[in-house]
Structure 1
Amino acid sequence: MITIEQLITRIEQRQPVLNKTELSAEQLSTRLNGVGSLTDADRTQISFLADPHYISSLANSQAGAVLITAAYREQVPATSLALVVATPYLAYASSSQLFAPEVFTSGVHPTAIIADSAVIGAEVSIGPYCVIGEYVQIGARSRIDAHVVIEAHTHIGTNAIIKSHVTIAHNCVIGSHVRLHAGVSIGAEGFGFAPTRDPSTSGWERIAQLGRVVIGDHVRIGSHTCVDRGAIDDTVIGNHVIIDNLVQVAHNVRIGNGTAIAAKTGIAGSTIIGKRCIIGGAVGINGHIDIADDVTFSGMTMVTKSIKTAGSYSSGTAAMPTAKWRRAAVRFRQLGNE
């Protein structure tokens, strides 16, 4: 159970609760045990109004407390406690972390295999069947779940959370407060091959990938995402980057601070993406191009050339009946011949 006072303390790490001084000691000691929607929350839960489209649900809400802007404060039911903030959605995000179940027990499971040369910080948890290679360094209070493999000479910062079946290849650098979700691959070989031009084989010569992956602080990478090591220089992910599930980041890609990337995006090699970019789902980004800071790509955009100006970019077409789409496609091809 979390008290309103504890809740306010957490919210105010990001923004002030504007009516905090108006709350009584009894109100501050009110206990809550979770988060609920305006329509479903009960007296033991907190809710929020982030979108005015849902204002109709506020009047009948049974939530114990509601995160609300000043403009809608008077519409909060008398049975609910209003917590007035500038950005309710951000306050909800901060609040949610207090109710998330986090099982953290320091110590090393007896089935883990840890090289004698590895350096393990204080209060680190290492789960069953993990393999920790030579000269690996793991910072204090990090949690390594079951079946994680961390290869030689990799450095991991403090307070990292690495979920089951993550693989981190040799010589990679992972910052502090990083979360790697199940099945993530960091530092696998990039897709580098040279054609042999031998007519008898028509084969390919593998290019050894000699760079690293370097990941900054406060980075979140979703399940089954792959970040390949650099061919010569490093693949680099900046601070505060968030990456969804099933994303491919190829060798020598560089991603700037604060960028967000949604699921099924593919980024080809040696592309540089700026700071604070937002990349929608299933976006395809060509290799060897530069993307400016503060660029947004809507879902399924195909990016074939460098983008030098901040703004929102889109490509592709929305779904329509097949017959109409075929006629539209014919006309589109005809435009290319004009």
Structure 2
Amino acid sequence: MKHPVTREFTLAELAERLGAHLEGDGGRRVRGLATLREAGPDQVAFVANRSYLKDLSATRAGAVLLQPEHAAACPVARLELANPYLGYAQLSQLFDPILAPPRGGIHPAAVVADDVVLGERVEVGPNAVIEAGVELGDEVVVGAGCFIGAGSRIGAGSRLHPNVTVCHGVVVGARAILHSGCVIGADGFGFAHDGGRWHKIAQLGGVVLGDDVEVGSCSSIDRGALDDTVIGNDVKIDSQVQIAHNVRIGDHTALAGCVGIAGSTRVGRNCMLGGGVGLAGHLTIGDGVQVTGMSLVTNSIHEPGVYSSGTGAMTNALWRKNAVRFKQLDDFARRLARLEKRGREG
């Protein structure tokens, strides 16, 4: 189960994988990525922002990933393609030793129920616990200390980093990445009040994650009260995000750190929620909506576009003045309405 420390590729192999045009020695072997300033002859650098072009002429990299229009200024081998940043993302996965194909094997300190269904080359780390009725697809990696509850299914190629909790009856699609400390399928926040105390509502639904979903560390996705909480394909969830019961999130949506989504809200496809965004419950957010950081959304949004609330940081003295003026806005509005009425009458 030991992963290699480094991985090597020839420039010709990288060009083929990226669909890039190579100028230079295709047989040169490289084993990592670095910035233009820091890269050595066995590393690949990239230019994804024009502000870094000043470092290109002096680079010592084995090759540079760049757009064809910048090729003339490159003193070393180059991999030319239209979107160097996308190419960098693809190469980063090749050189990450933890993403090497799993070799398979169950650590002797793991606890795996007798009826668990294991695909080919599944890895299970020490002190992991996998309960009855679980199904793990081919090349699933379960890190040290993970827990997978009864009846859950994990799709092929998915990776659970150490200390991930997947509760009972959860479905995780293919190629998911669940980072340490995230909890998938804990109880939603459901209680009935009788006037004196709270009575817990059992959460009888589950959680369904689509393919290619990534969930950051210490994020929580609650199970549904009756229906499932559903996360679409290719949804990217940052660290410390809270998704409440019965929420549905459409394909290709991204949520930055500390987003909080209250129960039964629907978020569309291709949305982006900035850090610290809060969505009230039972809302509908349409496709293609972007909400900037620290915004609070209390009404449904049906049209695509960029939405914001709150104010940016300012000096405390100015903020205190503005806070006083904010409380005066209603009085100002009434006075303005009276003046306008007088103007129309007079």
TM range (shorter): over 0.9
Matched, 1:91 2:98: no
CA distance in 1, matches of 2:106, 2:271: 39
CA distance in 2, matches of 1:159, 1:106: 12
CA distance in 2, matches of 1:181, 1:128: 17
Report 1:176-325 matches (<5 A).
176-197=174-195, 202-325=196-319
Q: What residue in structure 1 maps to residue 5 of structure 2?
A: none
Deviates more, 1:287-296 or 1:97-106: 97-106
Structure number with bigger Rg: 2
Task: Name the amino acid aligned to 2:225.
Answer: A
* CA displacement at 1:273 relative to structure 2: 0.5
Q: What residue in structure 2 maps to residue 11 of structure 1?
A: 18
Structure 1 residues 273-297: Cα deviation after superposition (integer angstroms, max 9, x where no partner): 0011111111111110011111111
SS of corresponding position for 1:54: helix
TM-score (norm 2): 0.91
Structure 1 residues 224-252: Cα deviation after superposition (integer angstroms, max 9, x where no partner): 11000001111000001111111000000
List alignment gaps of at least 5 residues for structure 2: 1-7, 334-346
Q: What residue in structure 2 maps to residue 118 of structure 1?
A: 116
Task: Name the amino acid aligned to 1:151.
Answer: G
CA distance in 1, matches of 2:323, 2:10: 59
SS of corresponding position for 1:327: helix
Matched, 1:152 2:150: yes
SS of corresponding position for 1:34: coil
* CA displacement at 1:304 relative to structure 2: 0.9
* CA displacement at 1:9 relative to structure 2: 2.5
* CA displacement at 1:336 relative to structure 2: 3.9
Task: Name the amino acid aligned to 1:300.
Answer: M
Report 1:127-146 matches (<5 A).
127-146=125-144
Task: Name the amino acid aligned to 2:9.
Answer: I
SS of corresponding position for 1:10: helix
User: 1:100 pairs with 76, 96, 101, which one?
Assistant: 96
Q: What residue in structure 2 maps to residue 2 of structure 1?
A: 9
Deviates more, 1:112-121 or 1:318-327: 112-121
* CA displacement at 1:134 relative to structure 2: 1.2
Structure 1 residues 259-310: Cα deviation after superposition (integer angstroms, max 9, x where no partner): 1111111111101000111111111111100111111111111111111110
* CA displacement at 1:331 relative to structure 2: 2.0
SS of corresponding position for 1:186: strand
* CA displacement at 1:117 relative to structure 2: 1.8
SS of corresponding position for 2:13: helix
Deviates more, 1:61-70 or 1:268-277: 61-70
* CA displacement at 1:334 relative to structure 2: 2.2
Task: Name the amino acid aligned to 1:195.
Answer: H
Task: Name the amino acid aligned to 1:140.
Answer: D
CA distance in 2, matches of 1:259, 1:105: 32
CA distance in 1, matches of 2:314, 2:194: 45
Task: Name the amino acid aligned to 2:78.
Answer: A
* CA displacement at 1:3 relative to structure 2: 0.9
SS of corresponding position for 1:191: coil
SS of corresponding position for 2:97: coil
List alignment gaps of at least 5 residues for structure 1: none
Q: What residue in structure 1 maps to residue 67 of structure 2?
A: 69
* CA displacement at 1:59 relative to structure 2: 2.0
SS of corresponding position for 2:323: helix
Q: What residue in structure 2 maps to residue 43 of structure 1?
A: 41
Structure 1 residues 298-328: Cα deviation after superposition (integer angstroms, max 9, x where no partner): 1111111111110111112111110011112
Percent identity over paired residues: 45
SS of corresponding position for 1:28: coil
CA distance in 2, matches of 1:318, 1:283: 14
Task: Name the amino acid aligned to 2:87.
Answer: A
Task: Name the amino acid aligned to 1:181.
Answer: H
Task: Name the amino acid aligned to 2:310.
Answer: G
* CA displacement at 1:46 relative to structure 2: 0.9
CA distance in 2, matches of 1:300, 1:133: 39
Task: Name the amino acid aligned to 1:206.
Answer: K
The alignment of Structure 1 onto Structure 2 pairs a total of residues equal to 323
CA distance in 2, matches of 1:53, 1:221: 32
Task: Name the amino acid aligned to 1:318.
Answer: G
Task: Name the amino acid aligned to 2:122.
Answer: V
Q: What residue in structure 1 maps to residue 340 of structure 2?
A: none
